[in-house]
Chains A and B, each alone.
Chain A
Amino acid sequence: MTERSGRLAIVIVGGGASGVLLAAHLLHDPDADIRVTLIEKRPAFGQGIAYSTTLDEHVLNVSAFGMSAYADDPEHFWRWLNSQGLAPEKNPRKIYVPRHFYADYLADVLDGLRRTEAPNGRLHTVSEECVAVATTPSGVDVRLANGTSVIGHVAVLAVGHEEHAVVGKDIAIRPGSEADTAIDPDAPVLILGTGLSMVDTWVSLAARGHRGRTIALSRRGLISSIHRKGKPIRLDLADVPLGTDLSYFVRWFRDLVRETERGGGDWRDVVDGIRPFNQRIWRSWPASARRRFIEHTRAWWDVHRHRMPPELHERITHALADGALELVAGKLAGAKRDGNGFAATIRRRGATETQTLSVARIYDCTGISSDLAAGSNPIVRSLIDRGLARPDPLRIGLDVTESCAIVRGDGQPSERLYAIGPLTRGAFFEIDAIPDIRMQCAMLARNLTARAGLVAQAG
């Protein structure tokens, strides 16, 4: 079908962290008879949005052992840090290194693969934007912006996070995007969202010497807790209630926290202890529980689950105390252009009146896209329009099976189209951190290489 019959051709759309991790897992088995084409529109592979920052203060919020490209070799990243002389002389379980180190690491992993695969042609990288993915009777046709196509048997979407502002479209911008140009350091700024992306944005502003008023707004105004070394409780799946309503689960969880704290433990021990089961719990829930979780519990969960390294937490605590950063619980009621800046109308939580702020910039750090079909990704939108994919019931990602196959509009799983990473959050929920993505990549790579064996036999 491609250059050699029998060889399974896999096209990965998106060469950010997820795409590179999948390529690495696919090529892990030197005998797998596959051809992997990795397509990335950015000049550099392995970065995506998450790892394109160059700021030292933007650190990983997972320790070095959680970040290895390979789940079965947790020290891989740590060894790389050491080989580059970048490892601080501390316990690797505790250190949080700059994120751009990770981008360099993934680029290096990919370079290594390019070298080892050069003689046998199993890896091709293409620096071009993908504009559409179509299925054909024999496989997939991945169209590029330059008018050419990449043909394969299977395509995997690894397109990562929504790149454009979702809230206040055309008014708000994503931090770190092209629109994020320098502004007057004394101008007031509004950040939508109070999670870790907000913290990143504030850190970037501080690094640019920003002095103007900086307001971070979210419904509850909650901010991430601090990382603390603890001892996660041991749980088996047999201990965890599954498939219940949300309130039942939350009661169980709170009781477990109380009991753990009575025994001298910490809530973090429970949050970290159930982490291995988060995807199973999510998948077991009926749609009603998932919806309620996203609406009511997620903000609370996120600040406990996604925590700040101690040094960063200390900085943010100081910034909040001296007013360099203001946290507001409330909603954005409206925003419009006003001279060179914007007039943002907000309603504080519990208040009936609104207030209008004059700001020079509005950043969207709200995270999960509220409606995937209305998102900016043309590939995803066109797949949905043509019935080749459908949004999950919550519309926060694409509907996929447990094995990452994209579910078509008619409810049947595709045998040609797959998705990994944040795009699959409707099915997996916690799938934006490396420890989860690398496991997903390992699973999909196992399934696809097994299929390669079958193709080879048939060929």
Chain B
Amino acid sequence: MLTKKGKYGLKALVHLSGLPAGQLAFVNDIAVANNIPKKFLDAILGELRNAGFVQSRKGKDGGYRLARLPADIKIGHVVRVLDGPLAPIPCASRTQYQACEDCEEATCQVRHMMLEVRQAIAEVLDNRSLAEMRDAANDDILADIKYQI
């Protein structure tokens, strides 16, 4: 399940990936441009920095930038850092397993299939880069424009 945190984090990264290489962005600008609460974004960017996806500089000219090329950052890797193990429901995770109150894990057919689904999620998200996510958005807009014309 992609939480708001995961979604905001990805939006912030897409924002940074659209800047010229090395240029820093103010947290406030990212927050306003993407409609993200600034305090929440501060925490999210802090976690992305700890994991090594972004770098920050303090002070008046401070801000955030990507630590690597957008093509080298995989979406699935970012989501694991922000939302934990990739899992469609909380019981379908092995390290952060949360039992459901209302069912038996061993016999739950839903969980069994969801364990398979998470492999598929990893297969998709671990093979998509931030650059692809950034460009996919543009492609959609271009496609829309073409369609309207």
Interface flags for B30-58 (1: CB within 8 Å of A; 0: not) read: 00000000000000000000111100000
Can you list, as one digit per residue, whether each of A115-148 has a CB less than 8 Å from chain B (1) or not (0)? 0000000000000000000000000000000000
Known: A236-B94, A239-B95. A244 touches B118 (CB 8 A): no
Contact B51 A239 (CB under 8 A): no
- Assembled-state Cα–Cα distance A89/B77 (Å): 46
Question: Are B126 and A242 in contact, with the CB atoms below 8 A?
Answer: yes
B70 CB-CB contact with A under 8 Å: no
Q: Is the CB of A235 within 8 A of B52?
A: no
- Residues of B within 8 A of A (CB-CB), count: 25
Contacts of A244 in B (CB 8 A): 51-53, 77, 81
Interface residues in B67-96 by Cβ distance below 8 A to A read 68, 72-74, 76-77, 80-81, 85-87, 93-96
Does A248 make an interface contact (CB < 8 A)?
A: yes
User: How far is it, in angstroms, between the C-alpha of A243 and the C-alpha of B82 when the chains are bound?
Assistant: 13
* Interface pair A248/B52, CB less than 8 Å apart: yes
Given A238-B118, A239-B95 in contact, is the A286-B68 Cβ separation under 8 Å?
Answer: yes
A interface residue count range (under 10 / 10 to 19 / 20 to 34 / 35 or more) = 20 to 34
A245 in contact with B95 (CB, 8 Å): no
The one of B52, B74, B96, B119 in contact with A289, judged by C-beta atoms closer than 8 angstroms, is B52
A286 lies within 8 A of B52 (CB): yes
Contact across chains for B74 and A238 when beta carbons are under 8 A apart: no
- Are B119 and A235 interface neighbours, CB within 8 A? no
Within 8 Å of chain A (Cβ to Cβ): is B24?
no
8 Å CB contact of B74 from A233, A243, A259:
A243
Chain A residues within an 8 Å CB radius of B94? 233-236, 239
B121 interface residue, CB < 8 Å from A? Answer: yes
Contacts of A284 in B (CB 8 A): 74, 77, 126
Q: Are B118 and A241 in contact (CB under 8 A)?
A: no
For B131, the chain A residues whose CB sits under 8 A away are none
Assess A236 versus B52: contact at CB under 8 Å? Given A242-B76, A242-B77.
no
- B27, CB-defined interface residue at 8 Å: no
Residue of A nearest to B84 (CB): A239
A205-233 vs B: 1/0 string, CB under 8 Å? Answer: 00000000000000000000000000001
- Is the CB of A319 closer than 8 A to any CB of chain B? no
Q: Is the CB of A245 within 8 A of B115?
A: no
Establish whether residues B87 and A238, one from each chain, have CB atoms under 8 Å apart when the complex forms.
yes
Cα A244 to Cα B78 in complex, Å, equals 9
Q: With contacts defined as CB atoms under 8 Å apart, how many contacts are there between chain A and chain B in the complex? A: 65
Select which of B68, B81, B121, B126 is within 8 A of A248 by beta carbon: B81
Is the CB–CB distance between B118 and A248 below 8 Å?
A: no
B-side contacts of A1, CB under 8 Å? none
Is A238 touching B86 in the complex (CB atoms < 8 A)?
Answer: yes
Closest chain-A Cβ to B115's Cβ sits at a distance in Å of: 7
Determine the residue in chain B with the shortest Cβ distance to A242: B77
Residue of B nearest to A249 (CB): B51
- Shortest distance from the beta carbon of A270 to any chain B beta carbon, whole Å: 10
Q: A243 touching B87 by the CB < 8 A rule?
A: no
Instruction: Say whether A44 faces chain B, with CB atoms less than 8 Å apart.
Output: no
Residues of B99-119 contacting chain A, CB below 8 A: 115, 118-119
Q: How far is the CB of B75 from chain A (nearest CB, A)?
A: 10
How distant is A288 from chain B, measured CB to nearest CB, in Å?
8
State whether B51 touches A237 (Cβ < 8 A): no
A374 within 8 A of B: no
Pull 17 A–B residue pairs with CB atoms less than 8 Å apart, ordered by A. Answer: A237-B122, A238-B80, A238-B87, A238-B93, A239-B93, A239-B96, A242-B74, A242-B76, A242-B77, A242-B80, A243-B53, A243-B73, A244-B51, A244-B77, A256-B95, A284-B126, A286-B68
Shortest Cβ-Cβ A-B pairs, 8 listed: A245-B52, A243-B77, A238-B86, A238-B118, A244-B51, A239-B85, A238-B122, A239-B95
Excluding A237-B122, A242-B76, 14 further A-B contacts by CB distance (< 8 Å) are A234-B94, A236-B115, A238-B80, A238-B85, A238-B118, A239-B93, A241-B81, A243-B53, A243-B74, A244-B53, A248-B52, A284-B74, A284-B77, A286-B68
Which residues of B come within 8 Å of A, CB atoms? 50-53, 68, 72-74, 76-77, 80-81, 85-87, 93-96, 115, 118-119, 121-122, 126
Residues on A facing B (Cβ under 8 Å): 233-245, 247-248, 256, 259, 284, 286, 288-289
